[in-house]
Amino acid sequence: MEKYIKLLEKNDLFKGFNSKDLEDILGYLSAKVVIYKKNDVILLQGDPVSFVGIVISGAIQVIKEDIGGNISILAHFGSNDIFAETFACAYIKESPVTVEAKEDCEIMFINFKKLIKDCHKSCTFHSRLVENMLSLIARKNILLNQKNEILSKRTTREKLLTYFSGQIKKSHSRRFSIPYSREGLANYLCVDRSALSRELSKMRDEGLIKFKKNEFEVLFSNS
């Protein structure tokens, strides 16, 4: 696990711990790393959730398929991001979503039950881990509210404007890259792909945005 320590020192779940602490913590949490290829399924909708995952390298996406076979992208996670912690903490018996590798990736799994249950050894790090996890879940809820704000918009343009405003705040810049292809962005925004492409072209023609593939520059004011 040594080669992962420096990355994990920057992870908010392990905030306040040094490298020696992390070695002990990873051992206690039975951490293991699994390698996935692009498009591999990491967690299938309907599967039990008994772990918390950390993206060591690569990228993953969280998707949901409805009864009609329509797929929506709910979230995208990259290096050092955490996933499945909300489902695990809620003791959900079956995962409501599928998590798949968007590209080749390494995923670290940690034992969720050991993370939240009382430690009979009264480990000094245990209460801090729980505190860090609660903070992470709170921030994930804020992100969920942002997604709900996008979905509450009625038109494709309104959804795009809301999404772009969020990206500006996240990157602290009017120039940013997004992790989605056109099809992926359409799925994330829950709009038709053709309608999305048309609206992006209109916004570019109106001088609101510039873009090349997944690189965007926002020219409108989002104040």
Task: Indicate whether 46 and 124 sit together in one domain.
Answer: yes
> Would 223 be classed as within a structural domain?
no
Tell whether 206 and 120 lie within a shared domain: no
Please identify which residue in the block is written with the tokens 């510039």. 210
For residue range 9-34, list pLDDT tens digits in order.
999 999 999 999 999 889 988 999 99
Whether residue 173 is predicted with pLDDT greater than 90 in this model: the reply is yes
What local confidence, expressed as pLDDT, does residue 113 receive? 78
pLDDT of residue 130: 85
Q: Quote the pLDDT of residue 127.
A: 82
Answer whether 30's CB lies under 8 Å from 108's CB: no
**Domain boundary, last residue among 140, 162, 182:** 140
Lowest mean pLDDT among 40-49, 137-146, 149-158, 199-208: 137-146
Residue type, 10: K
Give yes or no: residues 133 and 158 share one domain: no
Task: Calculate the alpha carbon distances from 215 to 61, 137, 212 in Å.
Answer: 19, 29, 5
**Tens digits of residue pLDDT in 82-141:** 999 888 777 778 899 999 999 999 999 998 777 766 665 556 778 888 889 889 888 888
- Total domain count, the chain: 2
> Rounded mean pLDDT of the chain?
90
Confidence (pLDDT) at 152: 94
pLDDT above 70 covers what percent of the chain? 95
Domain that holds residue 187: 153-218
The residue from 85, 110, 140 where one domain ends is 140
In a domain, 147, yes or no: no
Neighbours of 189 (CB within 10 A): 22
Q: What is the pTM of this model?
A: 0.81
* Domain containing residue 194: CATH number: 1.10.10.10
- Residue 119's pLDDT is what? 61
Contacts with 94 (C-beta within 8 Å, 6 or more apart), sequence order: 45, 46, 47, 48, 49
Q: Residue 39: what pLDDT?
A: 96
Closest CA to 83 of 133, 47, 34, 37: 133
Confidence (pLDDT) at 126: 80
Q: Write the pLDDT tens digit of every residue in 120-134.
A: 555 677 888 888 988
Identify whether 130 is part of a domain: yes
Local structure of residue 179 (DSSP, 8 states): S
| Better-scored residue on pLDDT, 52 or 126 | 52
> Average pLDDT of 191-213?
96
Residue 192 in domain: yes
pLDDT (0 to 100) of residue 123: 65
Tell me what percent of the residues of the chain surpass a pLDDT of 90. 63
CA–CA distance, 119 with 126 (Å, rounded to integer): 7
